[in-house]
């Protein structure tokens, strides 16, 4: 893949084939210097296998080094590269350009997260809520009772199936970005954190259910979820936050 | 922090039901019908309270509902209440964790089990029955 600018070099150096091009319209905003967001166009060539992240990095390296974005693993594992791709929250590294099926790709920062710069958003609040729900096994005994001995809280394969799906969360924030409650209630705890609460509540080694249910039973807690289900629709790891949230609420309502 | 920096999708995220499947449309319809029924409820209380001013006032108020506009409004109310009631049952069961699938190891392309066929059929049924109820209501009101 190459910028249109270096199209000719690419052809002679690499192969004798004209690559398809796509127009990226990228949101640019620097809170320190800009009063409003603007869109800048970049035309890039792409291969069959190119992802949106490949294109963005190419733009950054070859056309406009001032473009700010966050990424790390490039393989849908770290959860850093969430952004709006043609209006939908997706991972840039997990979205191939040709699967977007459009000659114009509009890239914006993930909704419902404050912008640090351009496509990089501030995930602090999401991590704070995640932490608030105690994402670890709560017990009175410890895996490391003292410095000389240690034991493991063993788990059997059948019990793992109860929560492995929810443990797949990579904290990308796409679910929070699409949630209609998050869109208007900045204090809402959010689908990401609620799902992690259920991940630990459903772990039979954990004894922290009461503590977590108390935290989510709040006016900005679980009751603000209206089961629109969009969180599950956009989750790139099959976590299905809507399922976890309803199970969690089932405990509070006495269904479970 | 200005609104660009805050970057909240705001109320427009409630108003746009497209792009995330029938479940998001159901969420949108549930909100719209809920607000519509609340408005109707307030008007209805005002309407029925006219009886306190005597039979003549009550009859005058009733006449309003016997117009074409009145019939159309009542038709919409019938549709709203039917959808809201049926979808409401689906949501209430879902909120208790009933009918949202069973957890398990997800496989690509990760179709969410909470958006299973049962849920989708319930939504389609709620929309279909609301349409039928509206037609039935129209048939009665307009054939009077
Ligand atoms: S639940 Fe899914 S969408 Fe939400 S943060 Fe975790 S991986 Fe991302
Ligand atoms: S770069 Fe790690 S998830 Fe995309």
Residue B65 confidence (pLDDT): 87
In angstroms, rounded to a whole number, what is the distance separating the alpha carbons of residues A46 and A67?
A: 19
DSSP A83: E
H or E stretch covering A40:
strand A38-45
The B-side interface with A (CB below 8 A) comprises 1-2, 4-14, 19-21, 23-24, 27, 30, 91, 94-98, 100-101, 103-108, 110, 112-115
Structure tokens at A31: 């809170």
**From the CB of residue A90, how many other CB atoms can be counted at a distance below 10 Å?**
23
**From the CB of residue A209, how many other CB atoms can be counted at a distance below 10 Å?**
17
- Beta bridge partner(s), residue A82: A91
Identify from B14, B95, B99 which residue to disrupt to test chain A contact, counting A C-beta atoms within 10 A and taking the largest count: B95
**Beta strand pairing call for A38-45 and A88-91:** unpaired
Task: Please tell me the CATH code under which domain A17-121 is placed.
Answer: 3.10.20.30
In a domain, residue B105? The reply is no
A175, A194 Cβ separation under 8 angstroms = no
Q: How far is CA B57 from CA A247, B47, B48, B50, B140, in A?
A: 52, 10, 10, 6, 25
Residue A12's Cβ-side half-sphere holds a number of Cα atoms within 13 Å equal to 3
Nearest CA in chain B to A166: B103
**Beta strand pairing call for A104-109 and A115-117:** unpaired
Give φ, ψ of A25 to 5 degrees. -110, 105
Give the ipTM.
0.91
Identify the CATH number of the domain in which residue B18 sits.
1.20.1300.10
- Beta bridge partner(s), residue A26: A40, A107
Domain ranges of chain A: 17-121, 124-139+154-253
DSSP A51: B
Chain B contact present for A95, CB below 8 A: no
Residue A14 confidence (pLDDT): 56
Q: Which pLDDT tens digit goes with each residue over B41-77?
A: 999 999 999 999 999 999 999 898 899 999 999 999 9
Number of separate domains in chain B: 1
Inter-chain touch A111–B6, beta carbons under 8 Å = no
**From the CB of residue B109, how many other CB atoms can be counted at a distance below 10 Å?**
6
In a domain, residue B104? The reply is no
The residue with tokens 């190891």 is B105
| CATH architecture, range A124-139+154-253 | Orthogonal Bundle (1.10)
Per-residue pLDDT band at B3 (split at 50, 70, 90): confident
Residue A15 confidence (pLDDT): 61
Residue A136 confidence (pLDDT): 94
> What is the whole-number distance in angstroms between the Cα of residue A94 and the centre of ligand 2?
8
- Which residues are within 8 A (CB) of A160 and not within 5 positions of it... i.e. 6 or more apart? none
Residue A1 confidence (pLDDT): 55
Residue A155 confidence (pLDDT): 93
Residues of A in contact with B13 (CB under 8 A): 111, 180, 183-184
In angstroms, rounded to a whole number, what is the distance separating the alpha carbons of residues B2 and A187?
A: 18
Pick out chain A residues at pLDDT < 50: 2-8, 12
What burial class does residue A43 get, using C-beta atoms within 10 Å of its C-beta: 0-12 exposed, 13-18 middle, 19+ buried?
middle
DSSP A115: E
Look up the pTM and report it.
Answer: 0.92
- Beta bridge partner(s), residue A21: A45
A59, A26 Cβ separation under 8 angstroms = yes
Q: Which pLDDT tens digit goes with each residue over B62-72?
A: 898 899 999 99
Q: Whole domain around residue B58: which residue ranges?
A: 10-99+110-142
In a domain, residue B2? The reply is no
In a domain, residue B3? The reply is no
């Amino acid at each position: 893949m190459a910028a249109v600018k270096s199209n000719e070099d690419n052809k002679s150096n690499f192969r004798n084939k004209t690559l398809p091009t796509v127009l990226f319209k990228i949101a640019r905003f620097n809170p320190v210097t800009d009063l409003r967001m603007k869109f800048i166009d970049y035309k890039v060539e792409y291969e069959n296998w190119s992802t949106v992240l490949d294109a963005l990095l190419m733009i950054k390296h070859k056309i406009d080094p001032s473009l700010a974005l966050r990424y790390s693993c490039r393989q849908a594992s770290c959860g850093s590269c969430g952004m709006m791709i043609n209006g939908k929250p997706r991972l840039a590294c997990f979205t191939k350009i040709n699967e977007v099926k459009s000659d114009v790709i509009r890239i914006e920062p993930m909704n419902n997260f404050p912008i640090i710069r351009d496509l990089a958003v501030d995930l602090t609040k999401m991590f704070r809520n995640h932490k608030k729900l105690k994402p670890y096994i709560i017990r009175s005994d410890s895996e490391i009772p003292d410095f000389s001995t240690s034991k493991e809280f063993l788990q059997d394969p059948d019990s793992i199936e109860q929560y492995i799906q929810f443990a797949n969360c990579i904290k990308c924030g796409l679910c929070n970005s699409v949630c209609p409650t998050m869109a208007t209630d900045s204090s809402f705890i959010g689908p990401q954190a609620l799902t992690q609460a259920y991940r630990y509540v459903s772990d039979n080694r954990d004894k922290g259910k009461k503590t977590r249910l108390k935290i989510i039973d709040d006016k900005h807690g679980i009751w603000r979820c209206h089961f629109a289900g969009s969180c599950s629709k956009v989750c790139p790891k099959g976590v299905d936050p809507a399922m976890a949230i309803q199970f969690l609420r089932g405990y509070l309502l006495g269904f479970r | 922090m200005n609104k660009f920096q805050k970057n909240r999708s705001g109320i427009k995220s409630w108003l746009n039901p497209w792009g995330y499947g029938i479940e998001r449309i159901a969420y949108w319809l549930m909100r719209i019908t809920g607000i519509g029924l609340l408005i109707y409820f307030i008007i209805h209380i005002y309407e029925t309270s006219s009886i306190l001013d005597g039979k003549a006032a009550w009859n005058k108020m009733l006449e309003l509902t016997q117009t074409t506009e009145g019939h159309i409004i009542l038709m919409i109310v019938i549709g709203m209440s039917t959808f809201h009631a049926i979808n409401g049952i689906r949501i209430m069961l879902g909120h208790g964790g009933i009918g949202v699938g069973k957890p398990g190891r997800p496989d690509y392309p990760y179709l969410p089990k909470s958006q299973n066929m049962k849920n989708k059929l319930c939504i389609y049924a709620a929309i279909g029955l609301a349409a039928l109820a509206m037609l039935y209501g129209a048939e009665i009101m307009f054939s009077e």
